[in-house]
Structure 1
Protein backbone atom coordinates (compact mmCIF):
# COMPACT_ATOMS: atom_id res chain seq x y z
CA UNK A 1 0.00 0.00 0.00
CA UNK A 2 2.83 2.38 0.91
CA UNK A 3 4.59 1.67 -2.40
CA UNK A 4 1.36 2.32 -4.29
CA UNK A 5 0.82 5.67 -2.56
CA UNK A 6 4.44 6.65 -3.17
CA UNK A 7 4.12 5.78 -6.86
CA UNK A 8 0.87 7.73 -7.09
CA UNK A 9 2.50 10.75 -5.43
CA UNK A 10 5.46 10.68 -7.80
CA UNK A 11 3.16 10.33 -10.82
CA UNK A 12 1.00 13.26 -9.77
CA UNK A 13 4.05 15.36 -8.93
CA UNK A 14 5.61 14.75 -12.32
CA UNK A 15 2.35 15.59 -14.04
CA UNK A 16 2.19 18.88 -12.20
CA UNK A 17 5.70 19.98 -13.16
CA UNK A 18 6.15 22.99 -15.38
CA UNK A 19 8.89 23.70 -17.90
CA UNK A 20 10.63 27.05 -18.16
CA UNK A 21 11.88 28.26 -21.54
CA UNK A 22 14.06 31.26 -22.38
CA UNK A 23 15.06 32.81 -25.69
CA UNK A 24 17.69 35.54 -25.70
CA UNK A 25 19.64 37.37 -28.40
CA UNK A 26 22.87 38.07 -26.52
CA UNK A 27 24.54 40.61 -28.88
CA UNK A 28 27.67 39.04 -30.33
CA UNK A 29 28.27 36.65 -27.44
CA UNK A 30 27.07 38.69 -24.43
CA UNK A 31 27.83 42.24 -25.54
CA UNK A 32 30.81 41.40 -27.75
CA UNK A 33 32.20 39.09 -25.06
CA UNK A 34 32.42 41.88 -22.48
CA UNK A 35 29.60 40.67 -20.23
CA UNK A 36 29.77 36.87 -20.36
CA UNK A 37 29.99 36.68 -16.57
CA UNK A 38 26.83 38.77 -16.10
CA UNK A 39 25.00 36.77 -18.76
CA UNK A 40 26.04 33.48 -17.20
CA UNK A 41 24.98 34.61 -13.73
CA UNK A 42 21.60 35.84 -14.93
CA UNK A 43 20.85 32.64 -16.86
CA UNK A 44 21.94 30.48 -13.92
CA UNK A 45 19.60 32.39 -11.60
CA UNK A 46 16.61 31.68 -13.88
CA UNK A 47 16.83 27.89 -13.41
CA UNK A 48 15.31 27.36 -16.84
CA UNK A 49 14.81 23.95 -18.42
CA UNK A 50 15.52 25.07 -21.99
CA UNK A 51 17.53 28.06 -23.23
CA UNK A 52 17.83 29.23 -26.85
CA UNK A 53 20.49 31.85 -27.58
CA UNK A 54 21.15 33.89 -30.71
CA UNK A 55 24.29 35.78 -31.80
CA UNK A 56 26.66 33.44 -29.98
CA UNK A 57 29.70 34.89 -31.71
CA UNK A 58 33.05 34.03 -30.15
CA UNK A 59 31.88 30.58 -29.04
CA UNK A 60 32.18 27.08 -30.41
CA UNK A 61 30.48 23.83 -29.41
CA UNK A 62 32.93 23.04 -26.61
CA UNK A 63 33.06 26.55 -25.16
CA UNK A 64 29.27 26.78 -25.15
CA UNK A 65 28.89 23.32 -23.59
CA UNK A 66 31.15 24.37 -20.72
CA UNK A 67 29.20 27.59 -20.24
CA UNK A 68 25.85 25.78 -20.28
CA UNK A 69 27.04 23.46 -17.52
CA UNK A 70 27.52 26.47 -15.25
CA UNK A 71 23.76 27.06 -15.32
CA UNK A 72 22.99 23.39 -14.82
CA UNK A 73 22.52 22.22 -18.40
CA UNK A 74 24.44 19.05 -19.24
CA UNK A 75 23.01 18.92 -22.75
CA UNK A 76 23.68 21.48 -25.47
CA UNK A 77 23.97 22.03 -29.20
CA UNK A 78 25.86 24.74 -31.05
CA UNK A 79 24.98 25.60 -34.64
CA UNK A 80 27.61 27.60 -36.52
CA UNK A 81 25.49 28.76 -39.41
CA UNK A 82 27.01 29.18 -42.90
CA UNK A 83 25.63 32.74 -42.91
CA UNK A 84 24.63 34.79 -39.90
CA UNK A 85 25.79 34.36 -36.34
CA UNK A 86 25.60 31.08 -34.40
CA UNK A 87 22.56 29.69 -32.64
CA UNK A 88 22.88 27.72 -29.41
CA UNK A 89 20.51 25.60 -27.34
CA UNK A 90 20.95 24.06 -23.91
CA UNK A 91 18.76 21.84 -21.76
CA UNK A 92 18.47 19.87 -18.55
CA UNK A 93 17.34 16.94 -20.68
CA UNK A 94 18.89 14.96 -23.55
CA UNK A 95 18.66 16.49 -27.03
CA UNK A 96 17.81 14.38 -30.08
CA UNK A 97 16.71 14.56 -33.73
CA UNK A 98 18.92 17.57 -34.45
CA UNK A 99 18.70 19.14 -37.92
CA UNK A 100 20.47 22.22 -39.27
CA UNK A 101 18.09 23.64 -41.84
CA UNK A 102 19.64 26.16 -44.22
CA UNK A 103 19.31 25.03 -47.83
CA UNK A 104 18.60 28.02 -50.06
CA UNK A 105 18.27 30.63 -47.29
CA UNK A 106 20.72 33.10 -45.80
CA UNK A 107 19.85 32.45 -42.16
CA UNK A 108 19.51 28.80 -41.16
CA UNK A 109 17.21 27.28 -38.55
CA UNK A 110 18.01 24.80 -35.77
CA UNK A 111 15.47 22.01 -35.29
CA UNK A 112 15.73 19.54 -32.42
CA UNK A 113 13.70 17.47 -29.99
CA UNK A 114 13.93 17.60 -26.22
CA UNK A 115 11.69 16.01 -23.60
CA UNK A 116 8.93 15.41 -26.11
CA UNK A 117 8.97 18.95 -27.50
CA UNK A 118 9.95 19.82 -31.06
CA UNK A 119 11.93 23.08 -30.98
CA UNK A 120 12.81 25.36 -33.88
CA UNK A 121 15.34 28.05 -32.97
CA UNK A 122 15.69 30.95 -35.37
CA UNK A 123 17.32 34.31 -35.96
CA UNK A 124 15.81 35.81 -39.09
CA UNK A 125 17.50 38.35 -41.33
CA UNK A 126 17.42 41.89 -39.98
CA UNK A 127 18.28 43.85 -43.13
CA UNK A 128 15.47 43.08 -45.58
CA UNK A 129 11.83 42.09 -45.42
CA UNK A 130 12.26 40.15 -48.67
CA UNK A 131 14.87 37.88 -47.03
CA UNK A 132 12.59 37.22 -44.06
CA UNK A 133 9.79 36.30 -46.43
CA UNK A 134 12.10 33.81 -48.12
CA UNK A 135 13.06 32.33 -44.74
CA UNK A 136 9.40 32.15 -43.72
CA UNK A 137 8.51 30.29 -46.92
CA UNK A 138 11.40 27.89 -46.33
CA UNK A 139 10.56 26.94 -42.73
CA UNK A 140 6.74 27.00 -42.95
CA UNK A 141 6.33 23.46 -44.40
CA UNK A 142 8.50 22.05 -41.60
CA UNK A 143 6.39 23.76 -38.95
CA UNK A 144 3.16 22.64 -40.62
CA UNK A 145 4.33 19.02 -40.65
CA UNK A 146 5.16 19.17 -36.95
CA UNK A 147 1.79 20.70 -36.09
CA UNK A 148 -0.03 18.00 -38.07
CA UNK A 149 1.41 15.40 -35.71
CA UNK A 150 -0.44 17.07 -32.80
CA UNK A 151 2.67 17.07 -30.64
CA UNK A 152 4.29 19.86 -28.65
CA UNK A 153 5.96 22.48 -30.85
CA UNK A 154 7.93 25.57 -29.82
CA UNK A 155 9.31 28.10 -32.33
CA UNK A 156 11.46 30.75 -30.69
CA UNK A 157 14.16 33.34 -31.24
CA UNK A 158 14.79 36.71 -32.82
CA UNK A 159 12.25 37.06 -35.64
CA UNK A 160 13.28 40.64 -36.51
CA UNK A 161 9.58 41.05 -37.25
CA UNK A 162 6.65 42.92 -35.73
CA UNK A 163 3.44 41.44 -34.36
CA UNK A 164 -0.08 42.27 -35.55
CA UNK A 165 -1.02 42.16 -31.87
CA UNK A 166 1.14 45.22 -31.23
CA UNK A 167 -0.53 47.53 -33.74
CA UNK A 168 -1.74 50.04 -31.15
CA UNK A 169 1.74 50.38 -29.68
CA UNK A 170 3.39 50.50 -33.11
CA UNK A 171 1.10 53.33 -34.15
CA UNK A 172 2.75 55.44 -31.44
CA UNK A 173 6.32 54.89 -32.70
CA UNK A 174 6.41 57.81 -35.14
CA UNK A 175 10.11 58.53 -34.56
CA UNK A 176 11.07 54.96 -35.35
CA UNK A 177 8.96 54.81 -38.49
CA UNK A 178 10.34 58.12 -39.73
CA UNK A 179 13.91 56.95 -39.09
CA UNK A 180 13.32 53.75 -41.05
CA UNK A 181 11.75 55.64 -43.94
CA UNK A 182 14.72 58.00 -44.16
CA UNK A 183 17.56 55.50 -43.62
CA UNK A 184 18.51 53.60 -46.81
CA UNK A 185 19.74 50.49 -44.99
CA UNK A 186 16.57 50.30 -42.84
CA UNK A 187 13.94 51.17 -45.43
CA UNK A 188 13.98 47.65 -47.00
CA UNK A 189 12.42 46.41 -43.74
CA UNK A 190 9.24 48.39 -44.42
CA UNK A 191 6.20 47.19 -46.32
CA UNK A 192 4.84 49.92 -48.60
CA UNK A 193 6.65 52.47 -46.42
CA UNK A 194 4.98 51.22 -43.22
CA UNK A 195 5.72 48.70 -40.49
CA UNK A 196 5.32 45.11 -41.67
CA UNK A 197 3.30 42.64 -39.59
CA UNK A 198 3.04 40.02 -42.31
CA UNK A 199 5.79 37.68 -41.10
CA UNK A 200 4.33 37.17 -37.62
CA UNK A 201 0.81 37.00 -39.04
CA UNK A 202 1.95 34.17 -41.30
CA UNK A 203 3.50 32.23 -38.41
CA UNK A 204 0.24 32.50 -36.49
CA UNK A 205 -1.72 31.47 -39.60
CA UNK A 206 0.21 28.19 -39.54
CA UNK A 207 -1.49 27.44 -36.22
CA UNK A 208 1.11 28.79 -33.80
CA UNK A 209 0.18 30.90 -30.77
CA UNK A 210 2.26 33.86 -29.60
CA UNK A 211 2.63 33.29 -25.87
CA UNK A 212 3.73 36.58 -24.32
CA UNK A 213 0.77 38.48 -25.70
CA UNK A 214 -1.58 35.81 -24.40
CA UNK A 215 -0.25 36.27 -20.86
CA UNK A 216 0.77 39.95 -20.75
CA UNK A 217 -1.67 41.85 -22.96
CA UNK A 218 -2.41 45.25 -21.53
CA UNK A 219 0.76 45.28 -19.41
CA UNK A 220 3.65 47.70 -19.97
CA UNK A 221 6.20 44.86 -20.14
CA UNK A 222 4.61 43.74 -23.41
CA UNK A 223 5.79 46.88 -25.20
CA UNK A 224 9.12 45.56 -26.29
CA UNK A 225 12.11 43.22 -26.33
CA UNK A 226 14.39 45.62 -28.25
CA UNK A 227 16.32 47.91 -27.87
CA UNK A 228 17.73 47.96 -24.36
CA UNK A 229 19.48 51.06 -23.03
CA UNK A 230 22.83 49.45 -23.89
CA UNK A 231 22.66 51.12 -27.30
CA UNK A 232 24.32 54.51 -27.54
CA UNK A 233 21.25 55.98 -29.23
CA UNK A 234 19.09 54.85 -26.25
CA UNK A 235 20.65 56.73 -23.29
CA UNK A 236 17.57 56.59 -21.05
CA UNK A 237 14.07 55.16 -20.65
CA UNK A 238 12.40 58.24 -22.08
CA UNK A 239 14.22 57.87 -25.41
CA UNK A 240 13.75 54.11 -25.28
CA UNK A 241 9.96 54.45 -25.27
CA UNK A 242 10.14 55.99 -28.75
CA UNK A 243 11.82 52.88 -30.18
CA UNK A 244 10.87 49.94 -27.95
CA UNK A 245 9.11 47.14 -29.83
CA UNK A 246 8.83 43.36 -29.81
CA UNK A 247 10.90 41.41 -32.32
CA UNK A 248 11.71 38.38 -30.13
CA UNK A 249 9.01 35.77 -29.57
CA UNK A 250 8.14 32.31 -28.29
CA UNK A 251 5.37 30.59 -30.25
CA UNK A 252 3.75 27.25 -29.51
CA UNK A 253 1.12 24.84 -30.75
CA UNK A 254 -2.41 25.65 -29.60
CA UNK A 255 -2.63 22.87 -26.99
CA UNK A 256 0.63 23.87 -25.30
CA UNK A 257 -0.55 27.49 -25.29
CA UNK A 258 -3.48 26.47 -23.10
CA UNK A 259 -0.96 25.29 -20.51
CA UNK A 260 0.86 28.63 -20.33
CA UNK A 261 1.29 29.65 -16.69
CA UNK A 262 3.87 32.47 -16.81
CA UNK A 263 5.39 34.87 -19.33
CA UNK A 264 7.82 37.74 -18.93
CA UNK A 265 10.05 40.18 -20.81
CA UNK A 266 12.35 41.20 -17.94
CA UNK A 267 14.34 44.42 -18.02
CA UNK A 268 16.58 46.53 -15.77
CA UNK A 269 19.79 45.63 -13.90
CA UNK A 270 22.41 43.59 -15.73
CA UNK A 271 20.00 43.06 -18.61
CA UNK A 272 20.76 46.64 -19.65
CA UNK A 273 24.41 45.72 -20.27
CA UNK A 274 24.35 42.08 -21.42
CA UNK A 275 22.62 42.78 -24.75
CA UNK A 276 20.64 45.23 -26.84
CA UNK A 277 17.75 42.76 -26.61
CA UNK A 278 15.77 41.64 -23.57
CA UNK A 279 15.11 37.94 -22.95
CA UNK A 280 11.72 36.27 -23.30
CA UNK A 281 10.65 33.80 -20.59
CA UNK A 282 7.66 31.49 -20.53
CA UNK A 283 6.52 28.61 -18.33
CA UNK A 284 4.23 25.81 -19.44
CA UNK A 285 2.47 23.32 -17.20
CA UNK A 286 2.94 19.74 -18.33
Structure 2
Protein backbone atom coordinates (compact mmCIF):
# COMPACT_ATOMS: atom_id res chain seq x y z
CA UNK A 1 0.00 0.00 0.00
CA UNK A 2 2.81 2.43 0.87
CA UNK A 3 4.61 1.67 -2.39
CA UNK A 4 1.39 2.15 -4.36
CA UNK A 5 0.48 5.46 -2.72
CA UNK A 6 4.11 6.67 -2.73
CA UNK A 7 3.68 9.35 -0.04
CA UNK A 8 6.23 12.16 0.25
CA UNK A 9 5.70 12.23 4.03
CA UNK A 10 4.54 9.27 6.10
CA UNK A 11 3.53 9.32 9.79
CA UNK A 12 3.49 5.92 11.51
CA UNK A 13 2.36 4.86 14.97
CA UNK A 14 2.28 1.66 17.04
CA UNK A 15 5.78 0.64 15.95
CA UNK A 16 6.07 -2.12 18.52
CA UNK A 17 9.47 -3.78 18.43
CA UNK A 18 10.97 -1.12 16.17
CA UNK A 19 14.41 0.27 16.93
CA UNK A 20 16.56 2.46 14.73
CA UNK A 21 17.92 -0.47 12.73
CA UNK A 22 14.49 -1.92 11.95
CA UNK A 23 12.96 1.43 10.96
CA UNK A 24 16.00 2.13 8.76
CA UNK A 25 15.54 -1.23 7.02
CA UNK A 26 11.86 -0.47 6.40
CA UNK A 27 12.65 3.04 5.15
CA UNK A 28 15.38 1.79 2.81
CA UNK A 29 13.01 -0.79 1.31
CA UNK A 30 10.55 2.02 0.53
CA UNK A 31 13.10 4.57 -0.70
CA UNK A 32 12.45 6.80 2.31
CA UNK A 33 14.42 8.39 5.14
CA UNK A 34 13.12 7.82 8.68
CA UNK A 35 13.13 9.55 12.03
CA UNK A 36 12.01 7.29 14.89
CA UNK A 37 10.90 8.52 18.32
CA UNK A 38 11.13 5.73 20.91
CA UNK A 39 8.69 5.49 23.81
CA UNK A 40 9.43 5.03 27.50
CA UNK A 41 6.03 3.53 28.41
CA UNK A 42 4.29 2.68 25.13
CA UNK A 43 5.16 2.26 21.46
CA UNK A 44 7.45 4.16 19.13
CA UNK A 45 6.26 6.51 16.38
CA UNK A 46 8.03 7.80 13.28
CA UNK A 47 7.99 10.17 10.32
CA UNK A 48 9.40 9.02 6.98
CA UNK A 49 10.40 11.39 4.17
CA UNK A 50 10.85 10.74 0.44
CA UNK A 51 13.91 12.22 -1.32
CA UNK A 52 14.63 14.68 -2.80
CA UNK A 53 12.90 16.09 0.28
CA UNK A 54 15.23 15.97 3.24
CA UNK A 55 14.90 16.23 6.98
CA UNK A 56 16.30 19.60 8.02
CA UNK A 57 15.55 19.07 11.71
CA UNK A 58 14.33 16.12 13.78
CA UNK A 59 13.05 15.95 17.35
CA UNK A 60 11.80 13.13 19.57
CA UNK A 61 9.32 13.84 22.36
CA UNK A 62 9.46 10.99 24.88
CA UNK A 63 8.18 12.74 28.01
CA UNK A 64 4.70 13.98 28.93
CA UNK A 65 3.31 11.37 26.51
CA UNK A 66 2.27 7.76 27.11
CA UNK A 67 3.64 6.85 23.68
CA UNK A 68 5.78 9.50 21.93
CA UNK A 69 5.91 12.14 19.21
CA UNK A 70 8.31 12.33 16.28
CA UNK A 71 8.72 15.76 14.68
CA UNK A 72 10.61 16.53 11.49
CA UNK A 73 11.02 19.79 9.63
CA UNK A 74 11.18 19.58 5.83
CA UNK A 75 11.70 23.01 4.33
CA UNK A 76 9.07 25.27 5.91
CA UNK A 77 6.81 22.39 7.00
CA UNK A 78 6.94 20.53 10.32
CA UNK A 79 5.26 17.11 10.52
CA UNK A 80 4.50 15.57 13.91
CA UNK A 81 3.53 11.91 14.27
CA UNK A 82 1.96 11.10 17.63
CA UNK A 83 -0.23 8.59 19.46
CA UNK A 84 -2.27 9.73 22.45
CA UNK A 85 -2.97 7.80 25.64
CA UNK A 86 -5.30 4.83 24.95
CA UNK A 87 -6.61 4.45 28.50
CA UNK A 88 -7.55 7.84 29.95
CA UNK A 89 -9.58 10.67 28.43
CA UNK A 90 -8.08 13.12 30.91
CA UNK A 91 -4.52 12.09 30.07
CA UNK A 92 -5.29 12.38 26.35
CA UNK A 93 -6.56 15.90 27.05
CA UNK A 94 -3.34 16.77 28.89
CA UNK A 95 -1.20 15.37 26.07
CA UNK A 96 -3.19 17.20 23.40
CA UNK A 97 -3.05 20.48 25.31
CA UNK A 98 0.72 20.22 25.64
CA UNK A 99 1.31 19.26 21.98
CA UNK A 100 -0.99 22.03 20.74
CA UNK A 101 0.81 24.62 22.84
CA UNK A 102 4.19 23.40 21.60
CA UNK A 103 3.42 23.50 17.88
CA UNK A 104 0.57 25.94 17.24
CA UNK A 105 2.78 28.99 16.61
CA UNK A 106 5.43 27.35 14.43
CA UNK A 107 4.23 28.25 10.96
CA UNK A 108 3.10 25.37 8.70
CA UNK A 109 2.63 22.33 10.96
CA UNK A 110 0.80 19.01 10.56
CA UNK A 111 0.03 16.89 13.64
CA UNK A 112 -0.98 13.40 12.54
CA UNK A 113 -1.78 10.18 14.30
CA UNK A 114 -3.99 7.94 16.37
CA UNK A 115 -5.55 10.34 18.88
CA UNK A 116 -7.73 7.65 20.49
CA UNK A 117 -10.65 10.09 20.73
CA UNK A 118 -13.76 11.04 18.79
CA UNK A 119 -14.37 14.56 17.60
CA UNK A 120 -17.39 16.29 19.17
CA UNK A 121 -18.46 16.98 15.57
CA UNK A 122 -18.78 13.24 14.88
CA UNK A 123 -21.67 12.73 17.34
CA UNK A 124 -20.03 9.78 19.14
CA UNK A 125 -21.86 7.23 21.25
CA UNK A 126 -21.75 8.45 24.89
CA UNK A 127 -21.27 4.86 26.07
CA UNK A 128 -17.97 4.57 24.19
CA UNK A 129 -14.97 5.54 26.34
CA UNK A 130 -13.12 7.08 23.43
CA UNK A 131 -15.99 9.50 22.85
CA UNK A 132 -14.47 11.87 25.44
CA UNK A 133 -13.96 14.91 23.17
CA UNK A 134 -11.57 16.94 25.35
CA UNK A 135 -8.40 16.00 23.47
CA UNK A 136 -9.85 17.02 20.11
CA UNK A 137 -11.25 20.23 21.57
CA UNK A 138 -7.80 21.06 22.97
CA UNK A 139 -6.32 21.05 19.46
CA UNK A 140 -9.21 23.07 18.07
CA UNK A 141 -9.11 25.66 20.87
CA UNK A 142 -5.41 26.17 20.13
CA UNK A 143 -6.34 27.20 16.58
CA UNK A 144 -5.42 23.93 14.87
CA UNK A 145 -7.74 22.77 12.09
CA UNK A 146 -9.15 19.25 11.72
CA UNK A 147 -8.28 18.75 8.05
CA UNK A 148 -10.90 16.03 7.60
CA UNK A 149 -13.58 18.56 8.50
CA UNK A 150 -12.02 20.94 6.00
CA UNK A 151 -11.62 18.71 2.94
CA UNK A 152 -12.63 15.14 3.76
CA UNK A 153 -14.65 12.86 1.52
CA UNK A 154 -16.59 9.71 2.41
CA UNK A 155 -17.61 8.71 5.93
CA UNK A 156 -14.22 9.33 7.54
CA UNK A 157 -14.23 6.30 9.85
CA UNK A 158 -10.73 4.95 10.45
CA UNK A 159 -11.71 1.92 12.54
CA UNK A 160 -12.52 -0.94 12.40
CA UNK A 161 -10.79 -2.53 9.44
CA UNK A 162 -11.83 -5.87 7.99
CA UNK A 163 -9.82 -9.06 7.95
CA UNK A 164 -10.65 -9.90 11.55
CA UNK A 165 -8.28 -7.29 13.06
CA UNK A 166 -10.76 -4.52 13.82
CA UNK A 167 -13.29 -6.12 16.15
CA UNK A 168 -12.15 -4.03 19.15
CA UNK A 169 -13.96 -0.97 17.80
CA UNK A 170 -17.34 0.14 16.59
CA UNK A 171 -17.15 2.37 13.45
CA UNK A 172 -15.58 5.70 14.39
CA UNK A 173 -12.85 8.19 13.50
CA UNK A 174 -9.82 7.94 15.78
CA UNK A 175 -7.09 9.02 13.36
CA UNK A 176 -6.61 12.69 12.53
CA UNK A 177 -4.42 15.19 10.75
CA UNK A 178 -4.53 18.65 12.30
CA UNK A 179 -2.94 21.66 10.61
CA UNK A 180 -2.01 25.16 11.62
CA UNK A 181 -3.78 27.99 9.72
CA UNK A 182 -0.68 28.38 7.54
CA UNK A 183 -1.30 24.89 6.09
CA UNK A 184 -5.01 25.30 5.38
CA UNK A 185 -4.74 27.13 2.00
CA UNK A 186 -2.65 24.26 0.63
CA UNK A 187 -5.03 21.41 1.54
CA UNK A 188 -6.51 19.86 -1.59
CA UNK A 189 -8.11 16.62 -0.33
CA UNK A 190 -8.31 14.33 2.70
CA UNK A 191 -9.34 10.70 2.31
CA UNK A 192 -9.30 7.36 4.11
CA UNK A 193 -7.81 4.43 2.20
CA UNK A 194 -9.67 1.10 2.25
CA UNK A 195 -9.70 -2.25 0.49
CA UNK A 196 -7.21 -4.93 -0.47
CA UNK A 197 -4.33 -5.58 1.88
CA UNK A 198 -5.29 -2.52 3.95
CA UNK A 199 -8.15 -4.54 5.45
CA UNK A 200 -5.77 -6.89 7.29
CA UNK A 201 -2.50 -4.92 7.52
CA UNK A 202 -3.68 -2.92 10.55
CA UNK A 203 -6.66 -2.33 12.82
CA UNK A 204 -6.75 1.29 11.59
CA UNK A 205 -7.25 2.66 8.07
CA UNK A 206 -4.64 5.14 6.82
CA UNK A 207 -5.51 8.79 6.23
CA UNK A 208 -4.11 10.63 3.20
CA UNK A 209 -3.81 14.41 2.99
CA UNK A 210 -2.95 15.96 -0.37
CA UNK A 211 -1.24 19.35 -0.22
CA UNK A 212 -0.53 21.80 -3.00
CA UNK A 213 3.24 22.19 -3.30
CA UNK A 214 4.77 25.58 -2.68
CA UNK A 215 7.93 27.35 -1.64
CA UNK A 216 6.54 28.78 1.58
Q: With the length of structure 2 as denominator, give the TM-score of the two structures.
A: 0.88
Show the counterpart of 1:154. 110
Q: Aligned in 2, Cα 1:259/1:232: closer, same or farther, shift over 3 Å?
A: closer
Q: Aligned in 2, Cα 1:279/1:232: closer, same or farther, shift over 3 Å?
A: closer
The size of the alignment, in residue pairs, is: 211
Counterpart pick for 2:89 among 129, 140, 164: 129
Q: Which runs of 5+ in 2 are unaligned?
A: none
- 1:44–1:72: 8 Å Cα contact kept in structure 2? no
What secondary structure is seen at the aligned counterpart in 1 of 2:56? Answer: strand
- Aligned pairs (5 A) from 1:1-286: 42-73=1-32, 75-92=33-50, 93-146=53-106, 151-167=107-123, 170=124, 173=125, 177-178=126-127, 180=128, 189=129, 195-216=131-152, 219-220=154-155, 222=156, 224-231=157-164, 234=167, 243-286=170-213
Q: Spell out, residue by residue over 1:83-122, the C-alpha distance to the aligned partner (whole angstroms, 9 max, x if none).
A: 1111121101221322222334433322221132112211
What secondary structure is seen at the aligned counterpart in 1 of 2:105? Answer: helix
What secondary structure is seen at the aligned counterpart in 2 of 1:53? Answer: strand
Runs of 4+ aligned residues of structure 1 deviating over 6 Å after TM superposition are none
Higher strand share: 2
Report the alpha carbon displacement of residue 138 of structure 1 after superposing the two structures with TM. 2.5
Q: Spell out, residue by residue over 1:140-166, the C-alpha distance to the aligned partner (whole angstroms, 9 max, x if none).
A: 3212332xxxx2111111111111221
What secondary structure is seen at the aligned counterpart in 2 of 1:254? Answer: coil
Q: Which of the pair has more CA radius of gyration?
A: 1
Report the alpha carbon displacement of residue 250 of structure 1 after superposing the two structures with TM. 0.7
Show the counterpart of 1:29. none
Q: Spell out, residue by residue over 1:199-228, the C-alpha distance to the aligned partner (whole angstroms, 9 max, x if none).
A: 1122012111111222226x33x2x10111
Q: Which runs of 5+ in 1 are unaligned?
A: 1-41, 181-188
- 1:230–1:275: 8 Å Cα contact kept in structure 2? no
The higher-RCO structure (CA 8 Å, 6+ apart) is: 1
Question: 2:65 and 2:152 mapped to 1: Cα distance?
Answer: 33
What secondary structure is seen at the aligned counterpart in 2 of 1:59? Answer: coil
Question: 2:9 and 2:204 mapped to 1: Cα distance?
Answer: 18
Show the counterpart of 1:183. none
Question: 1:202 and 1:258 mapped to 2: Cα distance?
Answer: 22
Higher helix share: 1
Question: 2:160 and 2:67 mapped to 1: Cα distance?
Answer: 21
